[in-house]
Amino acid sequence: MPRIALLQSKTFPTKEEAFDHHETLIRAAAEGGAQIIVTQELFLTPYFCTVQDVNRFDLADVLPGPVTDRLGRIARELGVVLVSSLFEHRGPGLYHNTASIHDADGSLLGLYRKAHIPQDPGFEEKFYFTPGDSGWPVWDTAFGKIGVLICWDQWYPEAARLMALGGAELLIYPTAIGWLPEEKEELGIAQHCAWESVQRGHAVANGCYLAAVNRAGTHDGTEFWGQSFVANPYGELVAKASVENEEILYHDVNFKMVEDFRRIWPFFRDRRIDAYEGLSTRWR
């Protein structure tokens, strides 16, 4: 059974400090037996989307490039699958919220670009990110078939289902989500409940594992709620991190459970694919 490690961390003053610190965490996770290692969303930078500021585009990197080269060298040296969430400068005025996926031999399997882009106070993402056009790829890695989605994608059952239909046994969601001070007292518990519940539902509906890795700590007015977790195909929380601490969250993923679950509860078999054409319309 491959071991997954989620790197729940904090915000750093510079990209160099963030990268060096996360390399230390990656090496510690590998030392702890992890074979699939996942960073939080936009791990090299603060969560910079709290305001609209054109200077923050300078935080982006060309991908593939030096950043993915370094990540590939680390993955190859340690023999791990590495899922890393990055800010991509794709072309003139064109930017994406992007995950890179490296296999255990260090090869860059590809990029996934965040498809669903939110726009809320404190989450000004439509200013920075173009919606992704990478489709719903599934990566056949040395340690299992994984689908990678990013943060706001986690609310959409269609995205999870399409990756599961592509063969994903494990869905991975790098995330940066938290409470705004003016909302926490009234809505904080409910918001977190919704976030966790919808993803556990994706695990059940698709008969797969799901891993969500979040930030911790407070930055620029947002209190990230941490609580990274792994859910099994029954939606059970089999590993969960704290609210406020940096930590490496481990779980041994039993892919045999995925096939066993899908045999007992054959949701894919019983889908009414002849009756779902309305899903491709904006409203009915």
Of 10, 41, 49, 223, catalytic: 41
Establish whether 126 is a catalytic residue. no
Residue of 151, 196, 208, 223 with catalytic role: 151
The catalytically annotated residue of 49, 114, 145, 169 is 114
Active site residue 151: yes
Residues 6+ apart with CB under 8 A from 267: 205, 206, 207
Q: Give yes or no: 41 in active site.
A: yes
Query: Helix 66-78 to helix 15-31 angle, to the nearest 10 degrees?
Result: 20
Whether the CB-CB separation of 204 and 235 falls below 8 Å is answered with yes
Cα(185)–Cα(7) distance, rounded to whole angstroms?
A: 27
Tell me the catalytic residues: 41, 114, 151
